[in-house]
Amino acid sequence: MGISKLRMQGAKCKSNLVISAFALCVMVLIPSRVRAREISLNDLKVPTRVMNEVEYVPLVELVGALGGSVWQADNRFIAVLPSNQDAGYQIEFTTGSQRVLVNRKPLNMPVPFRFLDNEVYVPTVFINEIFPVKLSRMPQVLSFSLSHARDTTVLRVELDTIAYFSSIAVTSSSFRVYLQADCRIRRLDGTGLVRGIQFGQQNGTVLNVTTTQPCFSRVVRSGKALEIKFTARARRRINTIIIDPGHGGKDQGALGRRLKEKDVNLDVAQRLSRRLKQLTTADVILTRDRDEYVELYERPRLANADKGDLYVSVHCNSSPDARSAQGIETFFLSVARTDWERAVASRENGALEFPVADTDKASADIVGGILRDLAQNEFLRESEQLASDLQSSLADNLHGKDRGVKQADFAVLRNAYMPAALVECGFLTNPGEEKLLAAGDYRERIASALAIGIGQFVKQVESKTGR
């Protein structure tokens, strides 16, 4: 197991020093008598970054400002900080999990941390829950106000000093805003697009906002104040379709005797893109249009950034222990129920730069956290419907073995805030199916079947009212 210390150079985390696992353990156990610091939000002077309406701070810079160090061990990032505790203070982040270990005790984060460009980003609103610091004074909410103009309602939060924030879309008509600020106001009548606001407490103030119709949300700073803007979706439309050709670049995916999965996926996705552009007026965007490596967690992030309304990840299957395995299957994101579902998810998640531990408990923890945050989320139900429409169309048009719709924890589907499904178009480890997948006309049939399934789903979604 390689363990390396991460230092800050500019805005990048660099691995500079390799030591033994024994040395790391010794460092963690050295007693330290430095007391936890009391800070104001501006004392740290660490730059923040907003991603998908959540404000983050880079872990290495934050820990450095607190006088500590960050160590990387495979898929774990371990922050070691001075503390008044005899055993020191240690925080452990694991890629693919919303759970953080603080001095080996688990803490489930309502707002997930992120990995980007080999850096860990921590949601600023929960810094003082995770790290051995406490605020010298909690920012105060002075007032709330709601204003409405045209198709936008603005919730303005006046604060006496800058406060950290996070905003999460629970469904298209409900939003959760975390404010690291104290608020004595407990009631605000709705107006415009805002139906109502419920106030709660969790490391500050939690606002549960419901809207009268599906909306987009955006948070901007205005001096010390925050403005949460809700913009109406006038009508549910599938305007942007995201097609994700699985794997790519250094990640080859499944291997047949002659074919590499990354090449088949890209060709099928490009054919599907051309068909959709002929059949629909929607914008069709590929997460990659050439043989390049795109991190798994980056793909749904790109889909969200492009304001996707539908997301389909194209893959080929493999079964190293059984060359006879064959057929087509489609997945949506949920906790895996069977050994096969777990095995497929483990293979596809193998493209992670830092692999997620392949255990039932870890998988349940990761996806369970997502499902709790997205409880009653129509996107979850629609993802199952999308998977069903795609699977039915593939089975009807390709006449291969119908392996059905399944559910599993795919990293490439996590945090895609839209209906999302992953298609396994056949087994490259099956000689007969590999021969089919090598043929251009068969790939065209796959693309045609996928386009039909997407069309069926779009028709159902756009015919719904009252959303």
Domain extent listing, the chain: 3-133, 141-232, 240-463
Candidate from 45-49, 151-155, 462-466 with smallest mean pLDDT = 462-466
Give the other-Cβ count within 10 Å of 298's Cβ.
Answer: 16
How far apart (Å, rounded) are the C-alpha atoms in residues 330 and 316?
Answer: 11
Q: How many CB atoms lie within 10 A of CB 387?
A: 27
Give the tens place of pLDDT for each residue, 192-248.
999 999 999 887 899 999 999 888 898 988 889 999 999 987 667 899 999 999 999
Mean pLDDT computed over 270-298: 92
What is the DSSP-derived secondary structure letter of residue 307? T
- Give the sheet arrangement for strand 99-102, strand by strand: 12-19, 3-9, 69-73, 76-81, 89-94, 99-102, 105-108
- Give Rg (Cα) of the chain: 24
Instruction: Give CA separation, 85 vs 34, 62, 71, 82, 122, in Å.
Output: 9, 20, 20, 8, 23
Same fold, 3-133 and 141-232: no
Per DSSP, which regions of 225-327 are E strands?
Answer: 225-232, 240-245, 283-286, 310-317
- Strand blocks (E) in 282-367: 283-286, 310-317, 328-333
Name 3's Cβ contacts closer than 8 Å, sequence gap at least 6.
Answer: 18, 19, 20, 21, 23, 24, 71, 72, 73
Mean pLDDT of 26-35: 36
Residue 262, classified by CB atoms within 10 Å of its CB into exposed (0-12), middle (13-18) or buried (19+), is buried
According to the model, what pLDDT value does residue 376 have? 34
Q: Cα(44)–Cα(164) distance, rounded to whole angstroms?
A: 13
| Number of Cβ within a 10 Å radius of residue 409 | 28
Calpha distance 286→245 (Å, rounded): 7
20 pLDDT more than 70: no
Token code pair at residue 363 = 């998988």
Domain 141-232 in CATH 3.40.1760? no
What pLDDT band is residue 137 in, cutting at 50, 70 and 90?
confident
CA–CA gap between residue 429 and residue 420 (Å, rounded): 26
pLDDT tens per residue, range 341-394: 455 455 555 544 433 333 344 444 444 444 434 433 567 788 999 999 999 999
Distances (CA, A) of 20 to 3, 59, 80, 92, 139: 7, 22, 16, 18, 43
Least confident of 11-20, 34-43, 98-107, 144-153: 11-20
Q: Tell me phi and psi for residue 418, to 5 degrees.
A: -170, 165
**Fold annotation for 3-133:** Copper Amine Oxidase; Chain A, domain 1 (3.30.457)
Contact (CB, 8 A) for 304 and 415: yes
**How much is the pTM?**
0.49
Residue 59: enclosing H or E segment and its boundaries? helix 59-65
Query: Could you tell me the two tokens for 421?
Result: 């499904």
Angle of helix 360-373 relative to helix 339-349, nearest 10 degrees? Answer: 80
pLDDT of residue 17: 28
DSSP H or E segment with residue 200: strand 194-201
Q: Taking the CB of residue 250, how many other CB atoms lie within 10 A of it? A: 10
CATH class of this structure's domain 240-463: alpha beta
